[in-house]
Amino acid sequence: MKLCRLTLVVLAAVSLAGCGILMPTARDRAAKNTPGFKAGYSDGCASATIQDTNYRADQVRDENLYKTDKHYRAGWASGFSNCRTNRTHPMSGPGAGPIPDNQPGGHPN
């Protein structure tokens, strides 16, 4: 049983490493250091931040670079996904608020 679990863990780690998630290649690391990727990351992060505070705001993106530069495009997507906050707030449930409920599920008498 333990051998089966260990085998599954090793196979999962090898699969993720093959995708570059655990160990990015030298080419991936070099791409992240390009000016296009850095500019795209900055614009993507700004877009995510603006949309979190103002849903009507436009994206911050250089459309010409987005269409022509793969590093800018990859950086924009990475910046947007990394900087976007979780849209579901932990205090959105019924009875949620800044003060914890001392009687969860119960009603005060």
Within a domain: 54: yes
Q: Which structural domain range is residue 54 located in?
A: 35-85
Q: What is the pLDDT of residues 15-72, one digit of tens each?
A: 555 555 566 788 888 888 999 999 999 999 988 888 666 666 678 899 999 999 999 9
| Residue 57 contacts residue 51 (beta carbons within 8 Å) | yes
pLDDT at 104: 63
In this prediction, residues 86-99 reach a mean pLDDT of 54
Q: Which residue has better confidence, 101 or 88?
A: 101
The predicted structure's pLDDT at residue 69: 94
Q: What pLDDT is attached to residue 48?
A: 85
| Residue 21 belongs to a domain | no
Q: How far apart are CA 69 and CA 27, in angstroms?
A: 16
Q: Is residue 49 exposed (0-12), middle (13-18) or buried (19+ Cβ within 10 Å)?
A: middle
What residue type is assigned to position 14 of the chain? V
Residue 47 within any structural domain of the chain: yes
